[in-house]
Amino acid sequence: MIQSATAGLSRNEGLKQGSPMLFGTIAQALADSSTDRFSDDDYEFLKFHGIYQQDDRDQRKIAKHYMLMVRTRFPGGVLSGSQYVACDDLATRYGNNTLRITTRQDFQFHGVLKSNLRQTMKALNDALMTTIAACGDVARNVLATPTPATSPLVEEVLARAADLSRLLAPKTPAYHSIWIEGKELDLEAAKGFVDPLYGQNYLPRKFKVAFAIPPLNDIDIFTNDLGFVVIEQNGKIVGYNLLAGGGLGMSHNNPSTYPRLAHLVGFFEPPHLEAVARAVLTIHRDYGDRTNRKHARLKYVIAERGVEWFRQELEKRLGFALQPARPFQFTRQGDLLGWHQQLDGNWFLGLFIENGRVRDAEDYRLKTGLRAAIERYLPEVRLTASQNLLLVNVKPEDREGIDRILMDHGVRTNNPYSLTRLASMACPALPTCGLALAESERALPGILDSLEGLLTELGLAEQELIVRMTGCPNGCSRPYTAELAFVGKAPNKYQIYTGGNEASTRLNRLYKDSVKGDELLGELRTLLVRFKAERQPGERFGDFCHRVIWSETAPAAH
C-alpha cells in the first residue's frame, strides 16, 4: 500500500510521490480474478492511463456493479477510417455497444469490465491508438479546429496539435509494460524515475490545451488552461496569441471555486510554440495548489497572483519577451454540418450526434450505419468539441454511396433537427459518472422536445439557442459559456444559467437556483415570453439575457 500524502498535501500528491511511474498495483489487480474492481489507490493511477473506475448507479440499491470507462486521446479529434472500425469493434465486444464522443474530441468506451480491460487497451494500441494522459494530473487531449473548408490552415494546425500532444505526454514506461506486455515493473528501478517534463509529482490537477482559428471558436478556446489563437497573414500562420487561465469546474456552495475564461497574455511567433507550451505547463506544475484539489487549476494561480506576474514568470522561463497581442475576433461557435466541399475538391460530411452518443435505436441505427459506410469507403474521421462527427476526404464519387448506406439505416445526412437541438450538448452523468448529482444526457432530449414546442408556440421556432446540460457543477459540457444551461444541483434539481454568447467568449450567470426538473419549462416560458416582447431587432437570446436579465438578478462574474 502506497503511503498517504505528506502533511499538508492532498492524498493524491502522496500517491504520485510513492509511485512516480504511475503503476500502483494495477498489474497485480489485473491478475486477481477474485474481485471485479481496483483499489481506491489504483483508481487514481488508472486515470493517468485514460481509465475511470465507475459503477452502474441504476443498480446501487441491489449492489455495486463495477465497470471501467476508457477514454482515447486523439489530438484534434483525428482518426483514420480503419481506427474508427477498430473502436466500433471494441465498443461492441467489450463496452456497452455505444461510442461516446467527448467535448475534448475523444471517444469514451463505457461498461468495460475489469476482466476485459487489458484486451481493450492492447487492441487500441495494436490499432495505433492510445489512452495515456486522456485523464489524470497531466496535459489532456489537445483540441484543434477539425473542420476542412473553414480555413486553409486547418491541416497545419492539426499537425501542430499532434506535435504538442507528443511533447506533453508523460514518459512513464508503465503504460506499455502493464497494457501491452502484461508485466509487473521492477519496483527498485521505478523508485528513481522522474518524468523529464512533469517531475516526480506531475501536475496539481489536469491541464487543458487548445488551438482555434478565428473567426470560428468551435472548441471554446477561452475555457482552456492554455490556448493558442492562430494569427494568419496572406494565408500563412505568422504566430499565435496566447491565452492562459481558463477553466469551468466549480463546486456548489464554495465561492472559492468558480468558472473563469482565459486571459489574453500576448503574441509569439511559430518557432516558439513548444517552448511556450512547456513554460506555461511548468508554471502550473510549480505554483499550482497541491493542498486542495478543488483549488488546484492554473486559473486560480493567475487569478490570485495576477496576469502581469504570470507574464513576467513566463518570459523569465522563455528567455524572451512576448509581443503585444495581435487583433482577432471570434464571431461564432459550433460545427459545419451536412455535406461541404473541401479546398482540395474532396468533400466532408458533418453529422449531428445527439449528446455525442453513437448508438443504434429502433429505426435510427446510427452505429451500424456509420460502421458500414466507414468500412466501405474508409474516409478519415474527425470528432468535434461539440460532440459531432465528420467524415473527411470523401471522394466526389463516394458521396452518393455514403448517403445511401446511412439512409438505409435511418440516418439523414441533412441533419433534420431544430437549430436549438443542433447547438445542444450534455455530459453523460447518470448512471455511469460517480460525480453526477442529477440526470443530464438522458434528460436533455426530453427537455429539448418541450423547449422546441414552446419556441414554436411563441413564434420563435427559427431561433437558435445554445443549450448545454451537465449533471454536476464540474462543467464537462461547458455549460457556463452557453446561452442557456442547466447544471445539476441535486436529484431532479438544477440551476439555470443564462447569458452566454454565440462566440463563446462570455460567461453566463446564475438565473435560478434549485429548480425541479418538471418546473424548468415554466421558468423558460417566463424568460422566452419576455425575450419575444423586449428583444432588439436580431438580438439573440443570450445577448438579451446579458443586456436585460443580468442587470436585474445576477452577481458579477470572475
Residue 458: give the domain boundaries: 421-553
User: Of these residues, 71, 421, 489, 509, which one is catalytic?
Assistant: 71
Rounded to the nearest 10 degrees, how much is the dihedral formed by the CA atoms of 450, 334, 274, 155?
140
Q: Could you tell me if residue 437 is inside a domain? A: yes
**pLDDT at residue number 188:** 72
Q: Could you tell me if residue 533 is inside a domain? A: yes
Cell numbers given for 120: 481493450
Q: How far apart are CA 125 and CA 104, in angstroms?
A: 20
User: Of these residues, 47, 160, 206, 468, which one is catalytic?
Assistant: 206
Q: Could you tell me if residue 543 is inside a domain? A: yes
User: Of these residues, 87, 135, 476, 545, which one is catalytic?
Assistant: 476
* Non-local CB neighbours of 516 within 8 Å, separated by 6+ positions: 492, 493
User: Of these residues, 47, 104, 114, 140, which one is catalytic?
Assistant: 140
Q: How far apart are CA 209 and CA 231, in angstroms?
A: 17
Which element (helix H / strand E) includes 539? none
**pLDDT at residue number 518:** 96
User: Of these residues, 367, 433, 468, 478, which one is catalytic?
Assistant: 433
Residue type for position 130: T
Any idea what the CATH number is for the domain that residue 471 is in? 3.30.413.10
Cell numbers given for 145: 479546429
**pLDDT at residue number 185:** 74
Q: How far apart are CA 372 and CA 375, in angstroms?
A: 5
71 is catalytic: yes
**pLDDT at residue number 6:** 54
Extended strands (E) in 403-481: 425-426, 467-470
Count of C-beta atoms within a 10 Å radius of residue 182: 12
Q: Could you tell me if residue 481 is inside a domain? A: yes
**pLDDT at residue number 7:** 58
427 is catalytic: yes
Q: How far apart are CA 303 and CA 297, in angstroms?
A: 10
Q: Is 423 exposed, middle or buried (0-12, 13-18, 19+ CB in 10 A)?
A: buried
93 is catalytic: no
User: Of these residues, 208, 285, 311, 489, which one is catalytic?
Assistant: 208
Domain count, the chain: 1
Check if the beta carbon of residue 428 is closer than 8 Å to that of residue 69. Answer: no
**pLDDT at residue number 2:** 33
Q: How far apart are CA 456 and CA 459, in angstroms?
A: 5
pTM here?
Answer: 0.96
Q: What is the pLDDT along the chain (558 residues), one digit of tens a residue?
A: 233 345 589 999 999 998 999 999 999 999 999 999 999 999 999 999 999 999 999 999 999 999 999 999 999 999 999 999 999 999 999 999 999 999 999 999 999 999 999 999 999 999 999 999 999 999 999 999 999 988 899 999 999 999 999 999 999 999 999 999 988 777 676 778 999 999 999 999 999 999 999 999 999 999 999 999 999 999 999 999 999 999 999 999 999 999 999 999 999 999 999 999 999 999 999 999 999 999 999 999 999 999 999 999 999 999 999 999 999 999 999 999 999 999 899 999 999 999 999 999 999 999 999 999 999 999 999 999 999 999 999 999 999 999 999 999 999 999 999 999 999 999 999 999 999 999 999 999 999 999 999 999 999 999 999 999 999 999 999 999 999 999 999 999 999 999 999 999 999 999 999 999 999 999 999 999 999 999 999 999 999 999 999 877 655 445
Q: Could you tell me if residue 287 is inside a domain? A: no
Dihedrals φ, ψ of 213, to 5°?
-115, 105
User: Of these residues, 472, 489, 509, 545, which one is catalytic?
Assistant: 472
* Non-local CB neighbours of 504 within 8 Å, separated by 6+ positions: 217, 220, 222, 223, 330, 333, 478, 481
Check if the beta carbon of residue 509 is closer than 8 Å to that of residue 557. Answer: yes
472 is catalytic: yes
C-alpha Rg value of the chain to the nearest Å: 23
**pLDDT at residue number 1:** 28
User: Of these residues, 87, 135, 427, 545, which one is catalytic?
Assistant: 427
